[in-house]
Chain A
Amino acid sequence: MFRILEDLVLSSGLVNLTPGNLVMWLVAFTLFYLAIKKQYEPLLLLPIGFGILIVNLPLTFLMEPEQGLVWFFYHYGIEKDIIPPLVFLGLGAMIDFGPLIANPKTLLLGAGAQVGLYVTFFAAILLGFDLKEAASIGIIGGADGPTTIYLGSKLAPHMLGATAVSAYAYMALVPIIQPPIMRLLTTEAERKIEMGKIRPVSRLQKIVFPIITAMIVMLLAPPSAPLISMLMMGNLFKESGVVERLTNASSNELINIVTIFQGLAVGATMTAAVFLNPKVLLVFCLGLFAFCVSTASGLLMAKFMNLFLKVKINPLIGAAGVSAVPMAARCVHKVGSEANRRNYLLMHAMGPNVAGVIGTVVAAAIFLKNLG
Protein backbone atom coordinates (compact mmCIF):
# COMPACT_ATOMS: atom_id res chain seq x y z
CA MET A 1 0.00 0.00 0.00
CA PHE A 2 2.79 2.36 1.06
CA ARG A 3 4.75 1.46 -2.08
CA ILE A 4 1.76 2.28 -4.32
CA LEU A 5 1.42 5.65 -2.63
CA GLU A 6 5.18 6.27 -2.96
CA ASP A 7 5.05 5.43 -6.70
CA LEU A 8 2.06 7.71 -7.13
CA VAL A 9 3.83 10.63 -5.49
CA LEU A 10 7.15 10.07 -7.28
CA SER A 11 5.50 9.82 -10.71
CA SER A 12 3.44 12.98 -10.12
CA GLY A 13 4.40 16.50 -11.07
CA LEU A 14 4.58 17.50 -7.40
CA VAL A 15 8.13 16.26 -6.83
CA ASN A 16 9.30 17.96 -10.00
CA LEU A 17 7.98 21.39 -9.10
CA THR A 18 10.60 24.13 -9.14
CA PRO A 19 10.50 27.58 -7.47
CA GLY A 20 10.34 28.99 -11.02
CA ASN A 21 7.07 27.10 -11.64
CA LEU A 22 5.58 28.63 -8.49
CA VAL A 23 6.56 32.15 -9.60
CA MET A 24 4.93 31.52 -12.98
CA TRP A 25 1.75 30.37 -11.22
CA LEU A 26 1.75 33.74 -9.49
CA VAL A 27 2.10 35.46 -12.89
CA ALA A 28 -0.85 33.39 -14.17
CA PHE A 29 -2.97 34.24 -11.12
CA THR A 30 -2.13 37.93 -11.59
CA LEU A 31 -3.42 37.75 -15.16
CA PHE A 32 -6.57 35.96 -13.95
CA TYR A 33 -7.09 38.78 -11.45
CA LEU A 34 -6.57 41.50 -14.09
CA ALA A 35 -8.88 39.72 -16.55
CA ILE A 36 -11.69 38.66 -14.21
CA LYS A 37 -11.72 41.31 -11.47
CA LYS A 38 -10.42 44.35 -13.39
CA GLN A 39 -11.70 43.23 -16.81
CA TYR A 40 -8.44 44.31 -18.50
CA GLU A 41 -8.46 42.69 -21.99
CA PRO A 42 -10.12 39.54 -20.57
CA LEU A 43 -10.51 37.89 -23.99
CA LEU A 44 -6.73 37.62 -24.25
CA LEU A 45 -5.38 37.76 -20.71
CA LEU A 46 -7.58 34.88 -19.52
CA PRO A 47 -6.41 32.28 -22.10
CA ILE A 48 -2.83 33.61 -21.84
CA GLY A 49 -2.95 33.21 -18.05
CA PHE A 50 -4.33 29.68 -18.38
CA GLY A 51 -1.62 28.84 -20.93
CA ILE A 52 1.03 30.02 -18.45
CA LEU A 53 -0.50 27.96 -15.66
CA ILE A 54 -0.76 24.66 -17.54
CA VAL A 55 2.67 24.85 -19.17
CA ASN A 56 4.24 25.34 -15.73
CA LEU A 57 2.76 22.13 -14.32
CA PRO A 58 5.62 19.61 -14.49
CA LEU A 59 5.49 16.40 -16.55
CA THR A 60 2.47 17.49 -18.60
CA PHE A 61 4.67 18.00 -21.69
CA LEU A 62 2.00 20.20 -23.30
CA MET A 63 4.69 22.13 -25.18
CA GLU A 64 6.80 19.09 -26.05
CA PRO A 65 7.62 19.35 -29.78
CA GLU A 66 5.64 16.91 -31.96
CA GLN A 67 3.82 15.59 -28.85
CA GLY A 68 2.17 18.23 -26.71
CA LEU A 69 -1.35 19.43 -27.48
CA VAL A 70 -0.54 23.13 -27.01
CA TRP A 71 2.66 22.78 -29.04
CA PHE A 72 0.51 21.89 -32.06
CA PHE A 73 -1.60 25.04 -31.50
CA TYR A 74 1.60 27.08 -31.22
CA HIS A 75 3.40 25.45 -34.12
CA TYR A 76 0.59 25.54 -36.66
CA GLY A 77 -1.16 28.63 -35.33
CA ILE A 78 1.65 31.03 -34.45
CA GLU A 79 4.88 29.69 -35.98
CA LYS A 80 3.18 28.96 -39.30
CA ASP A 81 1.47 32.40 -39.25
CA ILE A 82 -2.12 31.15 -39.38
CA ILE A 83 -3.70 32.76 -36.32
CA PRO A 84 -2.69 36.48 -36.49
CA PRO A 85 -3.96 36.88 -40.10
CA LEU A 86 -7.24 35.14 -39.14
CA VAL A 87 -7.65 37.57 -36.23
CA PHE A 88 -7.12 40.37 -38.75
CA LEU A 89 -9.83 38.88 -40.99
CA GLY A 90 -12.26 39.19 -38.09
CA LEU A 91 -11.05 42.69 -37.22
CA GLY A 92 -11.51 43.81 -40.83
CA ALA A 93 -15.10 42.56 -40.73
CA MET A 94 -15.70 44.60 -37.58
CA ILE A 95 -13.85 47.89 -38.26
CA ASP A 96 -15.62 50.86 -39.82
CA PHE A 97 -13.04 52.73 -41.90
CA GLY A 98 -15.61 55.49 -42.62
CA PRO A 99 -13.89 58.22 -40.52
CA LEU A 100 -10.59 57.48 -42.28
CA ILE A 101 -12.23 57.54 -45.72
CA ALA A 102 -13.92 60.84 -44.84
CA ASN A 103 -10.54 62.37 -43.97
CA PRO A 104 -7.63 60.44 -45.57
CA LYS A 105 -5.15 62.95 -44.07
CA THR A 106 -5.52 61.03 -40.82
CA LEU A 107 -3.41 58.29 -42.43
CA LEU A 108 -0.43 60.57 -41.72
CA LEU A 109 -1.34 60.61 -38.03
CA GLY A 110 -1.38 56.82 -38.05
CA ALA A 111 2.07 56.95 -39.65
CA GLY A 112 3.36 59.58 -37.19
CA ALA A 113 2.53 57.39 -34.20
CA GLN A 114 4.74 54.63 -35.65
CA VAL A 115 7.83 56.79 -35.12
CA GLY A 116 7.60 55.70 -31.48
CA LEU A 117 8.23 52.09 -32.57
CA TYR A 118 11.54 52.99 -34.12
CA VAL A 119 12.61 55.21 -31.20
CA THR A 120 11.94 52.24 -28.89
CA PHE A 121 13.84 49.96 -31.27
CA PHE A 122 16.81 52.30 -30.89
CA ALA A 123 16.42 52.45 -27.08
CA ALA A 124 16.27 48.64 -26.86
CA ILE A 125 19.53 48.35 -28.81
CA LEU A 126 21.15 50.78 -26.35
CA LEU A 127 19.96 48.57 -23.47
CA GLY A 128 21.72 45.52 -24.92
CA PHE A 129 19.06 43.72 -26.98
CA ASP A 130 20.01 42.43 -30.41
CA LEU A 131 18.37 43.87 -33.55
CA LYS A 132 15.63 41.23 -33.88
CA GLU A 133 14.72 41.39 -30.19
CA ALA A 134 14.69 45.21 -30.35
CA ALA A 135 12.26 45.14 -33.30
CA SER A 136 9.94 42.74 -31.42
CA ILE A 137 9.96 45.14 -28.46
CA GLY A 138 9.50 48.27 -30.59
CA ILE A 139 6.35 46.90 -32.23
CA ILE A 140 4.63 46.88 -28.80
CA GLY A 141 4.22 50.65 -29.30
CA GLY A 142 1.88 49.92 -32.21
CA ALA A 143 -0.65 48.73 -29.61
CA ASP A 144 -1.71 45.96 -31.94
CA GLY A 145 -1.70 42.46 -30.43
CA PRO A 146 -1.85 40.28 -33.58
CA THR A 147 0.92 42.30 -35.28
CA THR A 148 3.09 42.07 -32.14
CA ILE A 149 2.60 38.29 -32.11
CA TYR A 150 3.16 37.99 -35.87
CA LEU A 151 6.46 39.91 -35.79
CA GLY A 152 7.60 38.43 -32.46
CA SER A 153 7.10 34.85 -33.66
CA LYS A 154 9.31 35.55 -36.66
CA LEU A 155 12.09 37.65 -35.10
CA ALA A 156 12.31 36.72 -31.42
CA PRO A 157 10.08 33.73 -30.57
CA HIS A 158 11.84 33.30 -27.19
CA MET A 159 10.39 36.67 -26.11
CA LEU A 160 6.93 36.19 -27.63
CA GLY A 161 5.11 35.73 -24.33
CA ALA A 162 6.64 38.86 -22.78
CA THR A 163 6.03 41.10 -25.79
CA ALA A 164 2.44 39.86 -26.30
CA VAL A 165 1.45 40.18 -22.64
CA SER A 166 3.11 43.60 -22.51
CA ALA A 167 1.18 44.77 -25.60
CA TYR A 168 -2.20 43.58 -24.32
CA ALA A 169 -1.61 44.80 -20.76
CA TYR A 170 -0.66 48.31 -21.87
CA MET A 171 -3.55 48.43 -24.36
CA ALA A 172 -5.87 47.93 -21.42
CA LEU A 173 -4.06 50.75 -19.61
CA VAL A 174 -4.44 53.29 -22.46
CA PRO A 175 -6.91 55.43 -20.43
CA ILE A 176 -4.25 55.75 -17.71
CA ILE A 177 -1.11 56.10 -19.89
CA GLN A 178 -2.28 58.52 -22.59
CA PRO A 179 -4.07 61.48 -20.89
CA PRO A 180 -1.02 62.86 -18.99
CA ILE A 181 1.04 62.81 -22.22
CA MET A 182 -1.80 64.50 -24.13
CA ARG A 183 -2.04 67.28 -21.53
CA LEU A 184 1.73 67.69 -21.36
CA LEU A 185 2.19 68.14 -25.11
CA THR A 186 -0.82 70.36 -25.90
CA THR A 187 -1.94 73.77 -24.73
CA GLU A 188 -5.44 74.43 -23.39
CA ALA A 189 -6.20 76.39 -26.59
CA GLU A 190 -5.14 73.44 -28.78
CA ARG A 191 -7.28 71.00 -26.81
CA LYS A 192 -10.26 73.32 -27.28
CA ILE A 193 -10.06 73.27 -31.09
CA GLU A 194 -13.43 72.17 -32.44
CA MET A 195 -13.65 70.00 -35.54
CA GLY A 196 -16.60 70.17 -37.91
CA LYS A 197 -18.87 67.32 -38.87
CA ILE A 198 -17.34 64.39 -40.73
CA ARG A 199 -18.33 64.36 -44.40
CA PRO A 200 -20.68 61.58 -45.43
CA VAL A 201 -19.04 58.62 -47.16
CA SER A 202 -20.73 56.74 -50.00
CA ARG A 203 -21.06 52.96 -50.16
CA LEU A 204 -18.88 52.85 -53.29
CA GLN A 205 -16.04 54.66 -51.49
CA LYS A 206 -16.27 52.16 -48.63
CA ILE A 207 -16.09 49.26 -51.10
CA VAL A 208 -13.18 50.73 -53.05
CA PHE A 209 -11.14 51.53 -49.90
CA PRO A 210 -10.14 47.94 -48.92
CA ILE A 211 -9.31 47.04 -52.53
CA ILE A 212 -7.01 50.04 -53.12
CA THR A 213 -5.42 49.81 -49.66
CA ALA A 214 -4.67 46.09 -50.04
CA MET A 215 -3.14 46.60 -53.49
CA ILE A 216 -1.00 49.64 -52.57
CA VAL A 217 0.27 48.39 -49.21
CA MET A 218 1.08 44.91 -50.52
CA LEU A 219 2.81 46.31 -53.61
CA LEU A 220 4.96 48.72 -51.57
CA ALA A 221 5.57 46.50 -48.53
CA PRO A 222 5.16 42.85 -49.62
CA PRO A 223 5.93 41.34 -46.17
CA SER A 224 2.71 42.97 -44.94
CA ALA A 225 0.67 40.71 -47.25
CA PRO A 226 -0.56 38.06 -44.76
CA LEU A 227 -1.96 40.66 -42.36
CA ILE A 228 -3.15 43.44 -44.66
CA SER A 229 -4.78 41.05 -47.16
CA MET A 230 -6.88 39.42 -44.46
CA LEU A 231 -7.75 42.77 -42.83
CA MET A 232 -8.94 44.23 -46.09
CA MET A 233 -10.76 41.09 -47.23
CA GLY A 234 -12.72 41.10 -43.96
CA ASN A 235 -13.56 44.76 -44.53
CA LEU A 236 -14.63 44.08 -48.12
CA PHE A 237 -16.96 41.33 -46.83
CA LYS A 238 -18.52 43.87 -44.47
CA GLU A 239 -18.81 46.80 -46.84
CA SER A 240 -19.97 44.83 -49.89
CA GLY A 241 -23.11 43.91 -47.96
CA VAL A 242 -23.61 40.81 -50.09
CA VAL A 243 -21.91 38.16 -47.94
CA GLU A 244 -23.57 38.60 -44.58
CA ARG A 245 -22.86 35.00 -43.57
CA LEU A 246 -19.13 35.40 -44.25
CA THR A 247 -19.05 38.75 -42.42
CA ASN A 248 -20.81 37.25 -39.41
CA ALA A 249 -18.58 34.16 -39.42
CA SER A 250 -15.41 36.31 -39.61
CA SER A 251 -16.44 38.82 -36.97
CA ASN A 252 -17.97 36.33 -34.54
CA GLU A 253 -17.23 32.60 -34.64
CA LEU A 254 -13.88 32.66 -36.44
CA ILE A 255 -12.27 35.46 -34.45
CA ASN A 256 -13.57 33.98 -31.18
CA ILE A 257 -12.14 30.54 -31.97
CA VAL A 258 -8.72 31.79 -33.07
CA THR A 259 -8.53 34.15 -30.09
CA ILE A 260 -8.74 31.12 -27.77
CA PHE A 261 -5.88 29.32 -29.54
CA GLN A 262 -3.83 32.51 -29.86
CA GLY A 263 -4.04 33.31 -26.15
CA LEU A 264 -3.41 29.73 -25.03
CA ALA A 265 -0.45 29.23 -27.38
CA VAL A 266 1.18 32.57 -26.47
CA GLY A 267 0.74 31.89 -22.74
CA ALA A 268 2.24 28.44 -23.18
CA THR A 269 5.51 29.93 -24.44
CA MET A 270 6.03 31.45 -20.99
CA THR A 271 7.80 28.67 -19.14
CA ALA A 272 9.79 29.56 -16.03
CA ALA A 273 13.09 28.92 -17.82
CA VAL A 274 12.22 31.44 -20.56
CA PHE A 275 10.24 34.06 -18.64
CA LEU A 276 12.20 34.42 -15.39
CA ASN A 277 14.93 36.48 -16.89
CA PRO A 278 15.96 40.06 -16.04
CA LYS A 279 15.47 40.96 -19.72
CA VAL A 280 11.72 40.35 -19.40
CA LEU A 281 11.45 43.20 -16.89
CA LEU A 282 13.23 45.42 -19.40
CA VAL A 283 10.76 44.32 -22.10
CA PHE A 284 7.87 45.54 -19.93
CA CYS A 285 9.64 48.87 -19.22
CA LEU A 286 10.42 49.36 -22.91
CA GLY A 287 6.85 48.41 -23.84
CA LEU A 288 5.56 51.23 -21.65
CA PHE A 289 8.17 53.57 -23.14
CA ALA A 290 7.01 52.54 -26.65
CA PHE A 291 3.38 53.37 -25.82
CA CYS A 292 4.36 56.78 -24.42
CA VAL A 293 6.63 57.73 -27.34
CA SER A 294 4.08 56.55 -29.93
CA THR A 295 1.38 58.65 -28.27
CA ALA A 296 3.73 61.65 -28.21
CA SER A 297 4.86 61.21 -31.83
CA GLY A 298 1.25 60.98 -33.04
CA LEU A 299 0.42 64.20 -31.20
CA LEU A 300 3.48 65.99 -32.52
CA MET A 301 2.63 64.86 -36.05
CA ALA A 302 -0.82 66.48 -35.68
CA LYS A 303 0.80 69.71 -34.46
CA PHE A 304 3.21 69.60 -37.41
CA MET A 305 0.32 69.12 -39.86
CA ASN A 306 -1.44 72.14 -38.30
CA LEU A 307 1.44 74.32 -39.52
CA PHE A 308 0.26 73.69 -43.10
CA LEU A 309 -3.50 73.18 -42.76
CA LYS A 310 -5.97 76.02 -43.30
CA VAL A 311 -8.61 74.34 -41.14
CA LYS A 312 -6.75 73.25 -38.01
CA ILE A 313 -7.25 69.80 -36.53
CA ASN A 314 -7.37 69.16 -32.80
CA PRO A 315 -3.87 67.74 -32.13
CA LEU A 316 -5.30 65.36 -29.53
CA ILE A 317 -6.56 63.11 -32.33
CA GLY A 318 -2.91 62.36 -33.21
CA ALA A 319 -2.64 60.36 -29.99
CA ALA A 320 -5.21 57.90 -31.38
CA GLY A 321 -2.66 56.92 -34.05
CA VAL A 322 -1.50 54.14 -31.73
CA SER A 323 -4.07 51.54 -32.88
CA ALA A 324 -5.68 50.25 -29.61
CA VAL A 325 -9.08 50.51 -31.31
CA PRO A 326 -11.29 52.03 -29.95
CA MET A 327 -9.85 52.80 -26.48
CA ALA A 328 -7.36 55.40 -27.75
CA ALA A 329 -10.13 57.25 -29.67
CA ARG A 330 -12.38 57.22 -26.59
CA CYS A 331 -9.51 58.56 -24.53
CA VAL A 332 -8.97 61.43 -27.01
CA HIS A 333 -12.68 62.23 -26.91
CA LYS A 334 -12.67 62.32 -23.09
CA VAL A 335 -9.65 64.65 -22.82
CA GLY A 336 -11.03 66.87 -25.62
CA SER A 337 -14.46 67.19 -24.03
CA GLU A 338 -12.87 68.04 -20.67
CA ALA A 339 -11.25 71.08 -22.32
CA ASN A 340 -14.33 72.07 -24.31
CA ARG A 341 -17.72 70.58 -23.55
CA ARG A 342 -18.90 71.21 -27.14
CA ASN A 343 -16.00 69.15 -28.51
CA TYR A 344 -17.07 65.82 -29.99
CA LEU A 345 -13.84 64.19 -31.14
CA LEU A 346 -14.73 60.49 -31.05
CA MET A 347 -15.41 60.01 -34.76
CA HIS A 348 -12.51 62.32 -35.74
CA ALA A 349 -10.18 60.23 -33.57
CA MET A 350 -11.42 56.98 -35.11
CA GLY A 351 -9.71 58.02 -38.38
CA PRO A 352 -6.13 58.00 -37.01
CA ASN A 353 -7.09 55.09 -34.76
CA VAL A 354 -7.85 52.74 -37.66
CA ALA A 355 -5.01 54.31 -39.69
CA GLY A 356 -2.75 53.19 -36.83
CA VAL A 357 -3.72 49.55 -37.50
CA ILE A 358 -2.54 49.89 -41.11
CA GLY A 359 0.54 51.87 -40.00
CA THR A 360 1.61 49.21 -37.50
CA VAL A 361 1.32 46.50 -40.16
CA VAL A 362 3.46 48.60 -42.53
CA ALA A 363 6.03 49.19 -39.77
CA ALA A 364 6.14 45.44 -39.03
CA ALA A 365 6.61 44.73 -42.75
CA ILE A 366 9.58 47.12 -42.90
CA PHE A 367 11.12 45.46 -39.83
CA LEU A 368 10.67 42.07 -41.51
CA LYS A 369 12.15 43.30 -44.80
CA ASN A 370 15.25 44.57 -43.00
CA LEU A 371 15.68 41.87 -40.37
CA GLY A 372 13.64 38.81 -41.37
Chain B
Amino acid sequence: MTDWNKVIEVFGSGVLGVLLIMGFLMILLQISFKVIEYFERCIEKPTSEKA
Protein backbone atom coordinates (compact mmCIF):
# COMPACT_ATOMS: atom_id res chain seq x y z
CA MET B 1 0.00 0.00 0.00
CA THR B 2 1.53 3.32 -1.09
CA ASP B 3 1.95 5.95 1.59
CA TRP B 4 0.79 8.96 -0.45
CA ASN B 5 1.61 11.41 2.34
CA LYS B 6 5.23 10.25 2.20
CA VAL B 7 5.22 10.45 -1.62
CA ILE B 8 4.02 14.06 -1.53
CA GLU B 9 6.53 14.89 1.22
CA VAL B 10 9.44 13.44 -0.81
CA PHE B 11 8.23 15.17 -3.99
CA GLY B 12 7.67 18.56 -2.37
CA SER B 13 10.79 18.58 -0.21
CA GLY B 14 12.85 17.39 -3.17
CA VAL B 15 11.74 20.04 -5.66
CA LEU B 16 11.86 22.87 -3.11
CA GLY B 17 15.00 21.58 -1.39
CA VAL B 18 17.10 21.43 -4.55
CA LEU B 19 15.96 24.91 -5.64
CA LEU B 20 16.60 26.41 -2.19
CA ILE B 21 20.03 24.83 -1.70
CA MET B 22 21.19 25.76 -5.20
CA GLY B 23 19.70 29.26 -4.82
CA PHE B 24 21.46 29.77 -1.48
CA LEU B 25 24.73 28.51 -2.98
CA MET B 26 24.29 30.93 -5.90
CA ILE B 27 23.81 33.92 -3.57
CA LEU B 28 26.80 33.03 -1.39
CA LEU B 29 29.02 32.44 -4.41
CA GLN B 30 27.99 35.75 -5.97
CA ILE B 31 28.76 37.60 -2.73
CA SER B 32 32.14 35.93 -2.33
CA PHE B 33 33.08 36.59 -5.98
CA LYS B 34 32.16 40.29 -5.57
CA VAL B 35 34.36 40.47 -2.45
CA ILE B 36 37.23 38.77 -4.30
CA GLU B 37 36.84 41.15 -7.27
CA TYR B 38 36.86 44.14 -4.90
CA PHE B 39 40.09 43.02 -3.23
CA GLU B 40 41.71 42.15 -6.54
CA ARG B 41 40.89 45.66 -7.82
CA CYS B 42 42.31 47.20 -4.63
CA ILE B 43 45.54 45.21 -5.06
CA GLU B 44 45.80 46.11 -8.76
CA LYS B 45 45.29 49.88 -8.22
CA PRO B 46 48.48 50.63 -6.22
CA THR B 47 50.49 48.49 -8.65
CA SER B 48 49.21 50.43 -11.69
CA GLU B 49 49.66 53.79 -9.87
CA LYS B 50 53.31 52.88 -9.13
CA ALA B 51 53.88 52.04 -12.79
Residues in B with CB closer than 8 Å to A104 are: 26, 29-30, 33
Task: Assess the B22–A202 pair: CB atoms within 8 A.
Answer: no
**B49 at interface by CB-CB < 8 Å:** no
How many of B's residues come within 8 Å of A, CB to CB?
A: 27
- Choose from B3, B26, B40 the contact partner of A105 (Cβ within 8 Å): B26
Q: Is B51 an interface residue (CB 8 A)?
A: no
Q: Which of A145-153, A242-250, A363-371 contacts B (4 or more CB under 8 A)?
A: A363-371
- In this complex, the interface size class of chain A, counting residues with CB under 8 Å from chain B, is 35 or more
Min Cβ gap A277→B in Å is: 20
Q: Is B50 an interface residue (CB 8 A)?
A: no
Do B29 and A101 touch across chains, with their CB atoms under 8 A apart?
Answer: yes
Question: Would you call the interface of chain B mostly helix, strand, loop, or mixed?
Answer: helix
Contact with B along A105-146 (1 / 0, CB 8 A): 101101110110110011001000011000100000000000
Q: Is the CB of B7 within 8 A of A209?
A: no
| Main secondary structure on A side of the interface with B | helix
Is the CB of B15 closer than 8 A to any CB of chain A?
A: yes
Max chain A C-beta neighbours (<10 A), residue from B3, B11, B13, B24: B11
Q: Which of B1-51 contact A (CB under 8 A)?
A: 2-3, 6-7, 9-11, 13-15, 17-19, 21-26, 28-30, 32-33, 36-37, 40
CB distance from A15 to the nearest CB of B (A): 44
Chain A residues 189-240 with CB under 8 Å of chain B are: 202, 204-205, 208-209, 212-213, 216-217, 220-221
